[in-house]
Amino acid sequence: MPLSAPLTREHFERLDRDDPLGASRARFDLPTGEIYLDGNSLGAMPAHVPARIEHVLKQEWAQGLIRSWNDADWYPAPQRTGGKIARLIGAQANEVIVADSTSINLFKVLVAATRMQPGRKVILGERGNFPTDVYVASGVAELTGCELRCVEPDEVLAALNDEVAILSLTHVNYKSGRRYDMAAITARAHEVGALVVWDLCHSAGAMPIDLNGAQADFAVGCGYKYLNGGPGAPAFVYVAERHIPHVRQPLTGWHGHARPFDFTHDYEAHPTIDRLLVGTAPQLGILALEAALEMFDGVDMQVLRNKSVALCDLFIQLCDEQLAGLGVELRSPRDAAQRGSQVSLAHANAYPVMQAVIARGVIGDFRAPDILRFGFAPLYNSYVNIWDSVQALREVLESGEWDSPEFIARKSVT
Ligand SMILES: Cc1ncc(COP(=O)(O)O)c(C=O)c1O
């Protein structure tokens, strides 16, 4: 519900005072004086993670050495951490495991799903999906003799037919923040006999997800965005319980074996979700992610979603009020029901504009060719952040300060 215009900073301060999630912000280690609106790219660091990792390094590794695989419970960390993510995505603990990266998990489930659909030769994807989803699907198509067919997002339902083996979609689009109706699309795909792979990179930890309720088949997602697992954190993979016995994933490493420590010659897939594992888990990354997930303990995901919607709605309302005539256009859906937890704006000089905004201490990011992207993480973004960030953007645009060589020169990571 829009607040009555014109908005003032006091409106936002009042919302912060009433925010049921307000206390969790202090449990993150964030630079003072800066506003971080890029948790959809790299989540902020929960303040307790360094102590946990220091313990892992100095005690469990340095002193425990190889014994820690057993004594410090390193070995079951992928299952344990997957179980914690399961609650956030509407799955059972035995359907989710942490492993590898999103790209690699996509490869594993796309091949496995294709193998479950003999006689069907189309992988249906969307134009404008995150590149790795398209690149991996094209690699899988080549490997399995399928055709990768990509359509515009609003053509997906019409493109579902009995040729389609797999529908591969990202729940919330990385660039526009547009969100698919997971339940409706999954139901339609099942009607034509297709299986669906959902990429949850931009939704896990940002909103309630109900994979089981939607009868979802497969899902993948990363640990370093809204789950705050740290740079390059391992990813997760979900397989519906009903499919697990039928999944033959292509990366048949020893940790996916039924009895890895028998060291037998022949591969035999583990009977559980463990068959999605490949090799030795990146322990430091998993243990950091596991610790970071404590930030979600006791958090009602619907309360988190309500705040996410309010942050995005208010950001849009303020942009309408304060940026009119400054060359900015909304590129995310106005309707919250069709949106994730980010707002994207287009501007002809988006790259230097974002650099100038960052120089003022408001950190968002740029996506080619012309998108200013602002991600809202309800666990650590405040309402006043919305007011202050739009003021910074307005000042950058009005002053033209972005038009300077230091902001125009492209860095390698945008
Ligand atoms: C939708 C989506 N899928 C996948 C990835 C990245 O995959 P990986 O962690 O393998 O680099 C991203 C990264 O931003 C993404 O937005």
Q: What is the pLDDT of residues 179-221, one digit of tens each?
A: 999 999 999 999 999 999 999 999 999 999 999 999 999 999 9
| pLDDT 10s digits, 144-159 | 999 999 999 999 999 9
Q: Residue 400: is its pLDDT beyond 80? A: yes
pLDDT at res. 2: 65
Percent of the chain with pLDDT over 90: 97
Residue 28 one-letter amino acid: F
pLDDT at res. 6: 84
Q: What CATH number belongs to 9-30+299-408?
A: 3.90.1150.10
Q: Residue 1: is its pLDDT beyond 70? A: no
Q: Residue 3: is its pLDDT beyond 80? A: no
Q: What is the mean pLDDT of the chain?
A: 97
pLDDT at res. 208: 98
What is the Cα–Cα distance from 289 to 408, expressed in whole angstroms? 35
Strand partners for 46: 28
Give yes or no for a cis peptide into 369 (omega within 30° of 0).
Answer: yes
- How close is the Cα of 201 to the center of ligand 1, in Å? 6
Nearest ligand 1 atom, CA 224: 9
Q: Residue 340: is its pLDDT beyond 60? A: yes
Q: 154 and 164 in contact (C-beta within 8 Å)?
A: no
Mean pLDDT of 45-53: 98
| pLDDT 10s digits, 228-265 | 999 999 999 999 999 999 999 999 999 999 999 999 99
Quickly state the pLDDT bin for 318 (edges 50, 70, 90): very high
Nearest ligand 1 atom, CA 105: 10
Q: Residue 4: is its pLDDT beyond 80? A: no
Kindly list the domain boundaries of the chain, sorted by start residue.
9-30+299-408, 51-296
Ligand 1 residue neighbourhood (C-beta within 6 Å): 101-103, 130, 132-133, 170, 174, 199, 201-202, 222, 235
Out of 107, 130, 315, 407, which one is annotated catalytic?
A: 130
- How close is the Cα of 103 to the center of ligand 1, in Å? 7
Considering the domain 51-296, what is its CATH architecture?
A: 3-Layer(aba) Sandwich (3.40)
pLDDT at res. 385: 98
Lowest-pLDDT choice from 49-58, 77-86, 96-105, 405-414: 405-414
| pLDDT 10s digits, 276-317 | 999 999 999 999 999 999 999 999 999 999 999 999 999 999
pLDDT at res. 414: 74
- How close is the Cα of 16 to the center of ligand 1, in Å? 32
CA angle 51, 286, 218 (to 5 degrees): 145
Question: What order do you get walking across the sheet with 371-375 strand by strand?
Answer: 329-330, 342-346, 371-375, 365-367
pLDDT at res. 412: 83
